[in-house]
Structure 1
């Protein structure tokens, strides 16, 4: 969702840099990049470590609440699409292929994003706070495949980050990578595109075959 369908990472940039200031520190670009694709709990732990703060449960919970309130306010102002994403969703829907939204974002925030994306496109949605461990753990993708009634090897994930790509691969899915904010290394079976503009059903089948399926 973030960085693949919606250009929301730039909104997360605002919220995360402001959170660092709220916590009395300064966020470096290097630390910010390391957070992209991380689950909420992992991101907060990384921030506290980088800012030399005590990651006491109460402090983490307060930071999480502050961040959720800020990003919610930003989301409600409107979330821009990634290039070609809206047309790609419509193309896949018209083809009859089932889709699941798989995100590390927690459910409460995902619901705001679905108002932009269109929840009607998805047969299932799986959020980072609905599995024991978020990406790069494969749990979100394994759960999505289960809800779709498919084996992971017959599913193609479209990802923008190294964290998400690892999660999908570990689950056994094929992966089409459309990088957004940070580069994703090449790897066996990974199919890369610069953008979702012009995506066709045939491209999806080719990418899935890259996984040996």
Structure 2
């Protein structure tokens, strides 16, 4: 089973919101809700392009802004991560059942290493970070890499995602997908099973879902 991190396992989007809003103020600007939502699930380069355009400063360097945000978010990950309802329980059940498991995120390795202190490194057989693939979500590379690391076929994988970008990546990789919307609405589509929450969701229920059977 392959899990996204931000917005799926953790309700961490508010922490990203805080860092992004702080940097916008540092630059003397303000980020709109629409631009912030457009950034969810995207690569660092795409997010920084949207961010700089959103505050009216397209000339700024993406690398410098990304470094600032990751510094801030890494600090927040150390103290303020909150599990989404049912996520921790499902992850523990999956691991107890011996199901091969990977974390697949667009977040970079430095911040993920901090998050793993809360997630538990022992809960994942593989971890794929955004700065470790040639193309990140919505490209299929992250999920294809995760399947390869687990030595399984993508078609045999079930992905848990929260964002349109992540869902697009997982579907493009040929996996089955469970969507649990958080900050951004997910639209029904072929290959995607939508759940309002992971609270009370069991491994047996996922095995019986349309996504698992397709």
TM range, smaller chain = over 0.9
The TM-score with structure 1 as length reference comes to 0.94
Out of 24, 29, 47, the position equivalent to 1:25 is 29
Q: SS in structure 1 opposite 2:103? A: strand
Confirm or deny that 1:133 pairs with 2:140. Answer: no
Q: CA deviation at 1:54?
A: 3.3
CA shift digits 1:55-84 (9 cap, x unpaired): 45xx22221121111112211223111011
1:1-20 alignment runs, 5 A limit:
1-20=5-24
For residues 91 and 64 of structure 1, do their structure 2 counterparts lie closer, same or farther at Cα, with a shift above 3 Å needed? Answer: same
Using structure 2 for the length normalisation, give the TM-score: 0.94
**Matched residue, 2:110:** 108
Which residue of 1 is the match for residue 196 of structure 2? 194
- Residue 211 of structure 2 is matched in structure 1 by 210
Q: 1:177 to 1:69 in 2, by over 3 A?
A: same
Query: More deviation in 105-114 or 188-197?
Result: 188-197
Contiguous gaps of at least 5 residues in structure 1: none
Pick aligned residue for 2:181 from 172, 179, 182: 179
Residue 74 of structure 1 corresponds to: 76
What is the deviation of 1:204? 2.3
1: CA distance, partners of 2:147 / 2:177: 14
1:54, 1:66 → 2: CA distance? 17
The answer as to whether partners of 1:189 and 1:211 remain within 8 angstroms in 2 is no
TM-aligned CA deviation for residue 24 of structure 1: 2.1
- Specify which of 82, 87, 90 is matched with residue 85 of structure 1: 87
Asked if structure 2 preserves the Cα contact closer than 8 Å seen for 1:92 and 1:201, the reply is yes
Cα offset, 1:194, TM superposition = 1.2
- Residue 211 (structure 1) shift: 6.1
CA distance change for structure 1 residues 50 and 119 in 2, over 3 Å: closer, same or farther? same
Segments ≥4 residues shifted beyond 6 Å: none
Q: What is the aligned-residue RMSD (CA, Å)?
A: 1.4
Deviation of the 1:93 alpha carbon: 0.8
1:84 touches 1:198 (CA, 8 Å); kept in 2?
yes
Higher relative contact order (CA 8 A, sep 6+): 2
Q: CA deviation at 1:148?
A: 0.5
> Is 1:41 the counterpart of 2:45 in the alignment?
yes
Query: Hey, what's the Cα distance between the residues in 2 that align with 1:197 and 1:85?
Result: 7
8 Å CA contact retained: 1:178, 1:195:
yes
Extract unaligned runs of 5+ from structure 2: none
